[in-house]
Structure 1
Amino acid sequence: MKANMIDSSRIDAMVAQLKTAAAHAQGAASPLNGADVAGKADKPNFADALTASLNQVNSMQSRAEQLGKRFALGDDSVNLSDVMIAGQKANIAFQATVQVRNKLVSAYHDIMNMQV
């Protein structure tokens, strides 16, 4: 792979993760949360998808913290590379979450500033 080329396998993997998260959030609908009485689910609920994503970021950060603690306590089953990779994954997920939040806040401000 060249340094200036985009790795399409990573993009495909990320798209697959997004589809999985969306399917997971859509499957979590109940009659009280966006599904009609007949059992058919409505369109995916944004709040459920956002909550699922935030929970996933939180679990990544918790896992990275636990691995770091275990490594610091001398657990032989935890490698330094595992700790560093988990920390970087949690960091990237958090940064992506902050960027999504910034875009949502920007969109909210744009909508509120519109002339009616």
Structure 2
Amino acid sequence: MTDAISSILSQIRAYEARAQGGLAGSAGMAGTGRAGDTPPSNAISGTAAPSSSFQQTLNNAIDGVSKAQNEAGALQQAFELGDPRADLARVMVAMQQSQVAFKAAVEVRNRLVQAYQDVMNMPI
């Protein structure tokens, strides 16, 4: 059960690093890579995490999915209105990117719910 939680946290950190990109992402990975238990203990104690909090990471991921869906919708509408800059290939790629991002967010949510249920079902 601990392995599942660690796996989910590492996937979220990897997604955060890709979302931040550049130097900000490598600094975030360096901060979380030193001690695997640092972010949860900081969250429990109420102190600020060195890189960013779990809530901020989750909000950034959801914002990224929303942005991808909005851009795909705007491209689709532009294509329907006959805008020459919105060709079919770009519209289809944007739609697929937003679909993959949404599926990834749903999968992360499902894994978090499963990890929460595993923790709640642990005997005391």
Instruction: From 51, 64, 72, give the equivalent of 1:56.
Output: 64
Q: Is the 8 A contact 2:75 2:86 kept in 1?
A: yes
The amino acid that maps onto 1:52 is N
How far did residue 21 of structure 1 move? 2.6
Aligned residue in 2 for 1:19: 17
Q: How many residues align?
A: 90
How far did residue 44 of structure 1 move? 2.5
Q: Distance in 2 between matches of 1:106 and 1:113?
A: 10
Q: Which has the higher contact order (CA 8 A, sep 6+)?
A: 2
> What is the aligned-residue identity percentage?
39
How far did residue 78 of structure 1 move? 0.8
Higher-Rg member (1/2)? 1
Q: Distance in 2 between matches of 1:77 and 1:71?
A: 8
Q: Distance in 2 between matches of 1:54 and 1:47?
A: 11
Q: Is the 8 A contact 1:64 1:83 kept in 2?
A: yes
Aligned residue in 2 for 1:73: 81
* 1:12-60 deviation line (CA, Å, top 9, x unaligned): xxx9874243547x6xxxxxxx65xxxxx62421100110010010000
Q: Is the 8 A contact 2:69 2:98 kept in 1?
A: yes
What TM-score do you get using the length of structure 2 for normalisation?
A: 0.64
* Structure with greater helix share of residues: 2
Ranges in structure 1 where 5+ consecutive residues have no aligned partner: 1-14, 27-33, 36-40
* 1:78-110 deviation line (CA, Å, top 9, x unaligned): 110000000000000000000000000000100
The amino acid that maps onto 2:121 is N
**Structure 1 consecutive aligned stretches of length 4 or more whose deviation exceeds 3 Å:** 15-18
Q: Distance in 2 between matches of 1:115 and 1:18?
A: 33
Supply the RMSD in Å over aligned alpha carbons: 2.5
* 1:59-81 deviation line (CA, Å, top 9, x unaligned): 00000000000000111111100
Aligned residue in 2 for 1:5: none
What TM-score do you get using the length of structure 1 for normalisation?
A: 0.68
Aligned residue in 2 for 1:29: none
Q: Is the 8 A contact 1:64 1:86 kept in 2?
A: yes
